[in-house]
């Protein structure tokens, strides 16, 4: 049954509250209307409140009219009464379709969400920096055992996958360069092209992406699970700051291990380039090493290491922020973990692009 505009049928005006205490009064009025013919029209403009008993009365009236081919029509309901009636499919009018947001509205909403997320990220970064510096100034307050365990989890256990991918990427980059360099007899310059690219860009970037997917997701899942199971609330109840207790050891561990993993990736990338130069470009080992010493500068290595430290902060801060904002059950933990990986990889690539412009100019 839907709301209709006033028709020619005379409406029965109901007044007061359509609730259980006054149900008999309204029922007698409606019963008189049922004896007539045609649709029964009820004017609800005077009804200021309705409860489940009133809804039951209207529903029963509508069902009694249906076998007679008659309808119950409700008119002029106040907003509060209309909202209550919409909760009951047998009576309430379907809610009006929500208009699609315009382009400017969508852009403004997304801008607001992005600005809010940026502010929360800056707040998380500031808290991490404050507690980390405070912990370094007072080493006794640091959870050293947790830091060592996190270094093993984030660092040493990731050596295999980082080394393998770096080796394959170094070999692939050298192979892609070989076809062009061979035309000009400049095979030896594969060292310049591949090694500098590995140390400045590929090594730090691919290491950060691997760590984001491997360790960043684990950090987010751990914190999100603790939020869902209310362990974080328990820490706050005990007067323990969750960021200082949970996140700072992970940040220190990743800050220490990320440059080491980057150097490890650089070494394996150079080994991959060397193998391709030796087998596909006929470059002897001694000329390769001599050219490596000439082409590779300490500035290139330090550039990649500085990037790796910045990437470490981004990975931990984003994973912790998404984890702390998790709400719901186990499915929410999965969604948060996926979001942390996606946002982390995008942030790492964006930061690498910004750093490349800064170091270039």
207-230 confidence digits (pLDDT tens): 999 999 999 999 999 999 999 988
What is the per-residue pLDDT for 4? 43
What is the per-residue pLDDT for 208? 94
In 3D, which of 242, 248, 216, 211 has the Cα closest to residue 129?
Answer: 248
Range with the lowest mean pLDDT among 6-20, 33-47, 49-63? 6-20
Distance CA 236, CA 23 (A): 51
Share of the chain above pLDDT 70, in %: 93
Whether the pLDDT of residue 2 is over 50: the answer is no
Query: For the segment 83-93, what is each residue's pLDDT rounded down to a tens digit?
Result: 777 776 655 45
Query: For the segment 100-141, what is each residue's pLDDT rounded down to a tens digit?
Result: 778 888 898 889 988 998 999 999 899 899 988 888 888 887
What is the per-residue pLDDT for 181? 74
Which of the pair, 80 or 162, is modelled with greater confidence? Answer: 162
Whether the pLDDT of residue 62 is over 50: the answer is yes
Range with the lowest mean pLDDT among 79-83, 254-258, 319-323? 79-83
Following DSSP, what letter does each residue of 218-277 receive, concatenated?
HHHHHHHHHHHTTHHHHHHHTT--HIIIIIHHHHHHHHHHHHHHHHHHHHHHHHHHHHHH
What is the per-residue pLDDT for 97? 57
Span 287-295, mean pLDDT? 87
Following DSSP, what letter does each residue of 12-34 receive, concatenated?
EEEEEEESGGGHHHHHHHHHHHH
Following DSSP, what letter does each residue of 47-106 receive, concatenated?
EEEE-HHHHHHHHHHHHHHGGGT--EEEES--HHHHHHHTT-TTTSPPPPPPPPP-HHHH
Query: Is 277:191 a contact under the CB 8 Å cutoff?
Result: yes
> Which residues are CB-contacts of 75 (< 8 A; sequence separation ≥ 6)?
3, 4, 5, 6, 11, 41, 42, 43, 44, 45
Whether the pLDDT of residue 188 is over 70: the answer is yes
Query: Quick count: other Cβ atoms within 10 Å of Cβ 81?
Result: 21
Q: Domains in the chain, ordered, with CATH?
A: 12-85 (3.30.750.24), 113-360 (no CATH)
What is the per-residue pLDDT for 89? 63
Range with the lowest mean pLDDT among 67-71, 133-137, 142-146, 331-335? 67-71
- What pTM was estimated for this model as a whole? 0.69
Q: What is the mean pLDDT of the chain?
A: 84
Query: 84-93 burial string, b = 16+ CB within 10 Å, else e?
Result: bbbeeeebbe
Neighbour-count burial of 188, counting CB atoms closer than 10 A to its CB (0-12 exposed, 13-18 middle, 19+ buried): middle
């Amino acid at each position: 049954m839907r709301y209709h505009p006033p028709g020619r049928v005379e409406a029965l005006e109901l007044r007061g509250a359509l609730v259980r205490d006054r149900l008999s009064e309204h029922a007698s009025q409606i019963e008189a209307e049922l004896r007539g013919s045609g649709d029964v029209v009820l004017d609800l403009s005077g009804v200021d409140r309705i409860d489940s008993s009133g809804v039951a009365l209207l529903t029963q009236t509508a069902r009694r009219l249906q076998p007679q081919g008659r309808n119950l029509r409700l008119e002029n309901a106040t907003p509060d009464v209309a909202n209550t009636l919409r909760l009951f499919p047998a009576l309430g009018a379907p809610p009006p379709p929500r208009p699609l947001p315009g382009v400017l509205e969508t852009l403004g909403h997304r801008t607001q969400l992005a600005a809010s997320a940026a502010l929360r990220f800056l707040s998380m970064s500031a808290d991490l920096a404050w507690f980390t510096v405070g912990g370094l100034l007072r080493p006794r307050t640091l959870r050293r055992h947790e830091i060592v365990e996190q270094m093993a989890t984030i660092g040493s256990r990731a050596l295999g996958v980082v080394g393998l991918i770096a080796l394959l990427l170094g070999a692939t980059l050298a192979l892609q360069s070989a076809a062009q360099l061979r035309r000009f007899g400049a095979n030896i310059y594969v060292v310049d092209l591949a090694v500098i690219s590995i140390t400045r860009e590929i090594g730090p970037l691919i290491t950060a992406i691997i760590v984001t997917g491997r360790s960043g997701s684990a950090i987010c899942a751990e914190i999100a699970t603790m939020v869902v199971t209310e362990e974080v609330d328990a820490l706050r109840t005990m007067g323990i700051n969750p960021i200082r207790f949970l996140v700072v050891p992970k940040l220190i561990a990743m800050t220490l291990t990320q440059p080491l993993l980057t150097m490890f990736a650089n070494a394996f990338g150079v080994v991959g380039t060397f193998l391709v130069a030796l087998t596909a470009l006929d470059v002897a080992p001694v000329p390769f090493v001599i050219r490596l010493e000439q082409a590779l500068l300490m500035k290139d290595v330090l550039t990649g290491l500085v990037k790796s430290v910045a990437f470490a902060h981004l990975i931990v801060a984003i994973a912790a922020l998404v984890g702390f904002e998790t709400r719901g059950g186990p499915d929410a933990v999965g969604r948060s973990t996926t979001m942390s990986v996606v946002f982390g990889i995008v942030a790492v690539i964006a930061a690498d692009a910004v750093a490349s412009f800064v170091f270039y100019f």
